[in-house]
Structure 1
């Protein structure tokens, strides 16, 4: 079966088929469902008995236990007297304390509740239930990857979400190869230029930009949320040049504020495209002979075909004889995807090495 047929047979276009099946990062032959069109599948059976599920780490992460204890402490210190004044809505301090105590007890019960079904075989937090995330943390998946992309103009052929498509494939591979990581939802909106007075990519329709301070605040909140739930290593990677400074600054600020317990790691190696081009030339013997002068290149186009050929308008370009970029043909979709897999694999391997070094060195 050719690549197009395989992608179509995956259902609804099968974007995730290219990532999980073509790259070999997930079991082949399992039923695949979900928004990412193929990334999902049934996970292995539960690895512990119901009683073990209740007993392991007290049925919750350390952060969850701390939250419950804090809630209980607040309930205890609220003044409780027979003549306590009524608060907002006519609720007395005693009543508020009782309500908070019940909420803490309910949360404790939730944390100890066994997952009733098998977990989904996904590394994406947004695709998992809260119980699946809880159990992944228990099993040692305490590294979270925050990837930043963008919505910007990328010439006449590539979707505005170019970087986000790349990250769907890359974060999937990085998390699976690390073995102890999950992917936060891709941060799809980033600084792309001035808004009130459009500059940079904002001069082109379809681009969406954030102010730098907004971008950094989002990164801070996402990372802090992950830390609150028990992730101990928060990794920042980005596929766009304008994102790098913000990620580095936020990682440094978080480490200064956290001072232990969890670490933030900015990993610039993921974005070193020059290394990818050098590897493509030395290992694959491929060099771009020309430059079309648009915000596009063979490396990123071929990687995008691994995730979704429609994102590069492959069929439409073939139909009008425009299936090339910078002097290299992409008309043969099968061959282009195979090259994209190799390039994506190189980026994944390089980034995994960098993440392990950063975590091991505590930087």
Structure 2
């Protein structure tokens, strides 16, 4: 009985804490060196606070998906691309951090299943759910002091939702006189240009189209993150280390191709972000 009474009293004590105590906690110095990461979810709250105070006031919200991508490539294809892309992009900008990747996006109706939802492993959310998540994430970031919320997507179907939310938040914050702006950076989704760059500048061609929702540029970029997500070893062992008639061997060469393609995308996207922010 005594323990129960104490347990019920603790929440009341917490609620009754005076303002200066809470403020002191928020201003408490970080007791150890910070981790060298641009991912908010990998940082402590103190590290995020200090990064914002040091000028990292751009937050990148990237959207991927979980969907079918042929017999070799993991369903999280877009998310694996974004793991490398957002990291590189934030470091290229120098004043940005990455929010956790939004991995669940609209992929088709659930009942009855349509589009990608016809394939096992696909996870879909309604358009309004997707936009609500993007909006709440953006609001959360702005509440903590990020002044530029940047939405990028690796899947074409995500563009409408990101654009809608960015426009809504920017209009609302502008009307309220808040120092925060949301941007949808469509330049990141530039796979047509990536393919042209790969073929014309780097000399890698795809002679055929196997229709597998997969291709050499996607595979090579994913291999930068982790070769296992394109089943590299299994494909080599089975004599199937090709996509669209192009070889994905040797491993190191294709990973280097992926790095070059990633850098191409990062250069284009960073320039678009700087233009949108005005700095």
Give the structure-2-normalised TM-score: 0.93
What secondary structure, in the 3-state scheme, does the structure 1 residue paired with 2:17 have?
helix
1:106 deviates by 2.5
What secondary structure, in the 3-state scheme, does the structure 2 residue paired with 1:182 have?
strand
Give the distance between the partners of 1:281 and 1:313, measured in 2 at CA.
Answer: 24
Query: Which residue of the partner structure matches residue 336 of structure 1?
Result: 254
Give the distance between the partners of 1:258 and 1:234, measured in 2 at CA.
Answer: 12
What secondary structure, in the 3-state scheme, does the structure 2 residue paired with 1:158 have?
coil
1:104 deviates by 2.5
What secondary structure, in the 3-state scheme, does the structure 1 residue paired with 2:278 have?
helix
> Given the alignment of the two structures, is residue 132 of structure 1 paired with residue 47 of structure 2, yes or no?
yes
Give the distance between the partners of 1:108 and 1:178, measured in 2 at CA.
Answer: 31
Query: Which residue of the partner structure matches residue 143 of structure 1?
Result: 58
> Given the alignment of the two structures, is residue 293 of structure 1 paired with residue 211 of structure 2, yes or no?
yes
1:258 deviates by 1.1
> Given the alignment of the two structures, is residue 323 of structure 1 paired with residue 241 of structure 2, yes or no?
yes
> Given the alignment of the two structures, is residue 253 of structure 1 paired with residue 168 of structure 2, yes or no?
yes
Unaligned 5+ segments in structure 1 are: 1-88, 91-95
RMSD, matched Cα = 1.6
Matches within 5 A, 1:70-219: 102-219=17-134
Give the distance between the partners of 1:357 and 1:221, measured in 2 at CA.
Answer: 25
Give the distance between the partners of 2:223 and 2:143, measured in 1 at CA.
Answer: 36
- The structure that has the greater radius of gyration is 1
1:99 deviates by 6.6
Give the structure-1-normalised TM-score: 0.72
Deviation digits for residues 69-106 of structure 1, max 9, x if unmatched? xxxxxxxxxxxxxxxxxxxx99xxxxx8x975625222
Give the distance between the partners of 1:170 and 1:111, measured in 2 at CA.
Answer: 32
Q: Which runs of 4+ in 1 moved over 4 A?
A: 98-101
Give the distance between the partners of 1:165 and 1:208, measured in 2 at CA.
Answer: 16
Give the distance between the partners of 1:196 and 1:132, measured in 2 at CA.
Answer: 43
Give the distance between the partners of 1:201 and 1:348, measured in 2 at CA.
Answer: 28
1:341 deviates by 0.6
Unaligned 5+ segments in structure 2 are: 1-7
Give the distance between the partners of 1:215 and 1:257, measured in 2 at CA.
Answer: 19
1:256 deviates by 1.3
Query: Which residue of the partner structure matches residue 358 of structure 1?
Result: 276
1:132 deviates by 0.1
1:278 deviates by 1.2
Aligned length: 267
